[in-house]
């Protein structure tokens, strides 16, 4: 990772840290969102204490930034409408779909534009380390970040897909309304395409009129190539 040590200059930059139980990655962008540097650290964070995690991440964050995004990657999440959400019942909502580990803490992200809230769990040690390093920064579950950072208000039918290693996150709009936020496993580009087409079929979405946007797939061109046989892929 490029060393950025001048605090006056670094205040022009934004830092994003994406964390999962197997490590974390950092990226720095300038005011025009141009990528300046990136670095990945492979480490089983769940086997470390909060202090060990703090020391590991602190080595990479010793300068000031204009803004910081903390993104926790987890498939243990549940979106619920804001009108029915009660913060003291967040764990109960999440338990309806997932089993929460005793070593995890439950957090949530509000999305008032979509009238929904994302409830998710994160290991207590990772949450404690991030809160110590960045006490004024909200930890975002990765689908929440995808929704807030990449998806603009829709007045049409559209499918947004964020690709990960063996997982795909889908956000679907139908007739301008948010219809689906979910993650699906895949092994091959054929699996990836099947999941997409199956969701669209289940939601009765016309593939000819629907815009499909693929994100984070630059290193997996086979996904776009196979999916493009059946759907039109729009530019991000």
What span, in angstroms and rounded, lies between the C-alpha atoms of 125 and 20? 12
First to last CA, the chain: 27
Query: Cα torsion for 218, 223, 227, 228, to the nearest 10°?
Result: 40
Please report the pLDDT score of residue 3 as a whole number.
47
- What are the pLDDT digits (tens) for 13-55? 899 999 999 999 999 998 888 888 888 999 999 999 999 999 9
Please report the pLDDT score of residue 110 as a whole number.
97
- For residue 29, which of 62, 68, 56 has the smallest C-alpha distance? 68
pLDDT level of residue 152 (50, 70, 90 thresholds): confident
Please report the pLDDT score of residue 153 as a whole number.
72
Higher model confidence: residue 180 or residue 60?
Answer: 180
List the strands of the sheet with 158-163, edge to edge. 177-185, 167-174, 158-163, 211-215, 233-234
CATH 3.30.1330.90 holds for 153-234 = no
What span, in angstroms and rounded, lies between the C-alpha atoms of 201 and 211? 14
pLDDT level of residue 2 (50, 70, 90 thresholds): very low
Residue spans per domain, the chain: 1-150, 153-234
Q: Are strands 158-163 and 211-215 parallel, antiparallel or unpaired?
A: parallel
Higher model confidence: residue 122 or residue 157?
Answer: 122
User: Does residue 129 register a pLDDT over 80?
Assistant: yes
Q: Which residues pair with 167 in a beta bridge?
A: 185
DSSP reduced 3-state for 194 = helix
Please report the pLDDT score of residue 156 as a whole number.
81
Yes or no: say if 136 and 104 are a contact pair by the CB < 8 Å rule. Answer: no
Angle made by CA atoms 224, 21, 135, in degrees to the nearest 5: 105
Yes or no: say if 194 and 139 are a contact pair by the CB < 8 Å rule. Answer: no
CATH of domain 1-150: 3.30.420.250
What span, in angstroms and rounded, lies between the C-alpha atoms of 185 and 175? 26
Average pLDDT over residues 173-191: 93
Equal CATH topology for 1-150 and 153-234 = yes
The two three-digit tokens of residue 116, written as one number: 């929904």
Average pLDDT over residues 134-159: 90
pLDDT level of residue 8 (50, 70, 90 thresholds): very low
């Amino acid at each position: 990772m490029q060393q950025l040590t001048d605090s006056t200059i670094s205040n022009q930059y934004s830092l994003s840290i994406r964390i999962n139980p197997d490590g974390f990655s950092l990226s720095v962008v300038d005011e025009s969102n141009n990528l300046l540097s990136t670095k990945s650290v492979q480490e089983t964070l769940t086997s470390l204490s909060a202090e060990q995690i703090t020391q590991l991440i602190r080595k990479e964050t010793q300068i000031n930034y204009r803004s910081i995004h903390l993104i926790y990657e987890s498939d243990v999440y549940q979106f619920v409408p804001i009108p029915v959400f009660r913060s003291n019942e967040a764990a109960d909502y999440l338990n309806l779909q997932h089993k929460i580990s005793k070593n995890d803490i439950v957090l949530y992200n509000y999305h008032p534009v979509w009238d929904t809230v994302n409830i998710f769990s994160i290991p207590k040690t990772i949450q404690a380390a991030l809160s110590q390093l960045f006490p004024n920064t909200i930890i975002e579950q990765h689908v929440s970040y995808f929704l807030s950072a990449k998806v603009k208000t829709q007045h049409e039918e559209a499918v947004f897909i964020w690709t990960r290693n063996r997982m795909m996150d889908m956000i679907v709009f139908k007739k301008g309304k948010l219809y689906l936020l979910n993650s699906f496993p895949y092994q091959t580009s054929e699996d990836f395409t099947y999941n997409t087409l199956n969701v669209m079929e289940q939601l009765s979405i016309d593939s000819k009129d629907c815009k499909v946007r693929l994100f984070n797939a630059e290193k997996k061109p086979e996904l776009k190539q196979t999916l493009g046989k059946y759907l039109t892929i729009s530019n991000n």
